[in-house]
Amino acid sequence: MRTHTLLTFSAALVSGFQLPHAAPPQRVVSSRAGAAPAMKSPFDLTGKVAFVAGVADSTGYGWAICKALASAGATIIVGTWPPVLGIFEKSLKAGKFDDDMILDDGSKMVISKIYPLDAVFDTKEEVPEDVATNKRYAGLDGFTIQECADAVAADYGKIDIFVHSLANGPEVAKPLLETSRTGYIAAMSASSYSLISCVQRFAPIMNEGGSVLSLGFIAAQQVVPGYGGGMSSAKAQLESDTRVLAWEAGRNYGIRVNCVSAGPLKSRAASAIQKGDTRTFIEVGIDYYLANAPLQKNLYSDDIGSVACALCAPAFGAVTGETLYVDNGMHAMGWATEQAGEKLWARKDPLNESELMGAKYTSQDNVS
């Protein structure tokens, strides 16, 4: 009898449940005929509204996250930087992104509405005269974070998901030692403080159980030469703020705040970072990851989109304050085993799979 009790108790611990103090009540079975109702998937986002800030083309992680959320059933609305808003809307209408809008089921993604959003301005009163009168902002009906949140609330009432896909560092090509105070603060303002301001203003219009997600980079924790201008500092702030916001927004609004630290992607914005004689910073970064990460495969925007979507789903409803790496395991590595930066900068072409060493360094049998 004692043995049976111990085994039952052990099984209860393994399954994650405690033994009840009393027998559970009998289940009442309905006498109505018919099939049992289908269980909704914990990854199903049908009926949810997702706002993705920082979408202006089909090459970045923000776009991939939109597609993943749409495939899961969410209604997609986006915020776009005013200077490129017109081009983005025209390209959408002209069908230039049609091939990139196909979802998992073969249907075409619908972006229900596009809002102008310049996340370096919190309220209308803070917009300087030279920006307010700039022709690239002319005719826009409110583009500050507060105005954008107000417009979303007027259109949708409450939303469920907010994705922060925003980053900008005007001096990103400069080493930190050469970065000006103005450039450093600008990087922080656009790339990290913007998350705080967005949560301040969007959290009140989010349903309880909602999710906020931002995009980080390994430079927050490790030195990445070439990623300058204070951007590494801004990403470190973003990760730290994720934890604090998880606490404060969780207690005040019942929403979750997480961060995905993504590997390098050759997006339009990333391609503008430091250039060498023949290659860009991001091209070298992609090859460096391919050569030295535990998983020797290319990282695609859809990889980040899928993980981001999962983090925003009810299945991850108990996860908050987390920075999750999606980089083929590169964050776990302490040193390069195959291709160092100097050789990669000198190359003219991307690495080929035939050049990868695979399992050479993973066992004694493979070490010469």
DSSP conformation letters of 257-295: EEEEEE-----TTGGGS-B-SS-BHHHHHHHHHHHHSSS
pLDDT digits (tens, 9 = 90+) for 178-207: 999 999 999 999 999 999 999 999 999 999
Phi, psi for 57 (deg, rounded to 5) = -165, -170
Question: Quick check: 161 and 223 in contact, CB under 8 A?
Answer: no
| Of 28 and 327, more confident | 327
Q: Is residue 284 part of a domain?
A: no
Residues contacting residue 196 through CB under 8 Å, at least 6 positions apart: 241, 245
Cβ count within 10 A of residue 340: 13
Q: What is the pLDDT of residue 279?
A: 78
DSSP state of 167: -
Q: What is the pLDDT of residue 276?
A: 55
pLDDT digits (tens, 9 = 90+) for 227-262: 999 999 999 999 999 999 999 999 999 999 999 999
Band (138; pLDDT cuts 50, 70, 90): confident
| Domain span holding position 100 | 49-265+299-333
Residues contacting residue 239 through CB under 8 Å, at least 6 positions apart: 216, 220, 221, 259, 261, 323
Comparing 70-74, 134-138, 301-305, the range with the smallest average pLDDT is 134-138
Judged against a pLDDT cut of 50, whether residue 24 lies above it is answered with: no
Judged against a pLDDT cut of 70, whether residue 33 lies above it is answered with: no
Report the C-alpha gap between 142 and 116 in whole angstroms: 7
| Of 280 and 113, more confident | 113
Angle between helices 181-188 and 231-253 (to 10 degrees): 30
Comparing 37-41, 68-72, 270-274, 290-294, the range with the smallest average pLDDT is 270-274
Q: Which helix (H) or strand (E) holds 129?
A: helix 129-132
Q: Is residue 32 part of a domain?
A: no
Report the C-alpha gap between 111 and 63 in whole angstroms: 10
Band (214; pLDDT cuts 50, 70, 90): very high
Q: What is the pLDDT of residue 269?
A: 53
Band (364; pLDDT cuts 50, 70, 90): low
Rounded to an integer, the average pLDDT of 205-225 is: 96
Band (34; pLDDT cuts 50, 70, 90): low
Distance of CA 317 to the CA centre of its chain: 17
Phi, psi for 53 (deg, rounded to 5) = -90, 130
Report the C-alpha gap between 255 and 2 in whole angstroms: 45
Q: Is residue 21 part of a domain?
A: no
Q: Is residue 199 part of a domain?
A: yes
Mean pLDDT of all residues in the chain? 86
Q: What is the pLDDT of residue 28?
A: 44
User: Sign (positive/negative) of CA torsion 40, 41, 42, 43?
Assistant: negative
- Per-residue exposure over 69-105, b if at least 16 CB sit within 10 Å of its own CB, e if not: bbbbebbbbbbbbbeebeebeeebeeeebeeebeeee
Q: Which helix (H) or strand (E) holds 305?
A: helix 301-312
Share of the chain above pLDDT 70, in %: 82
| Of 345 and 307, more confident | 307
Q: Is residue 245 part of a domain?
A: yes
Q: Which helix (H) or strand (E) holds 208?
A: strand 206-216
Report the C-alpha gap between 118 and 127 in whole angstroms: 10
Judged against a pLDDT cut of 70, whether residue 302 lies above it is answered with: yes
Judged against a pLDDT cut of 80, whether residue 13 lies above it is answered with: no
Report the C-alpha gap between 52 and 62 in whole angstroms: 7
97: domain CATH number?
3.40.50.720
Angle at 73 between CA 71 and CA 77, to 5 degrees: 90
Q: Is residue 288 part of a domain?
A: no
CA distances from 141 to 48, 77, 148, 335 (A): 25, 16, 9, 50
Q: What is the pLDDT of residue 232?
A: 97
Q: Is residue 20 part of a domain?
A: no
Q: What is the pLDDT of residue 336?
A: 74
Report the C-alpha gap between 48 and 348 in whole angstroms: 46
> What residues are labeled active site?
192, 235
Q: Is residue 95 part of a domain?
A: yes
User: Sign (positive/negative) of CA torsion 111, 112, 116, 119?
Assistant: negative
Phi, psi for 59 (deg, rounded to 5) = -100, -15
Question: Quick check: 185 and 237 in contact, CB under 8 A?
Answer: no
Judged against a pLDDT cut of 80, whether residue 166 lies above it is answered with: yes
Residues contacting residue 246 through CB under 8 Å, at least 6 positions apart: 256, 257, 258, 320, 321, 322
Q: What is the pLDDT of residue 7?
A: 40
Band (366; pLDDT cuts 50, 70, 90): low
Residues contacting residue 267 through CB under 8 Å, at least 6 positions apart: 57, 59, 60, 61, 282, 301
Q: What is the pLDDT of residue 355?
A: 76
Rounded to an integer, the average pLDDT of 101-111 is: 97
Burial of residue 181 (CB within 10 Å: 0-12, 13-18, 19+) is exposed
Q: What is the pLDDT of residue 16?
A: 42
Domain count, the chain: 1
Q: What is the pLDDT of residue 5?
A: 41
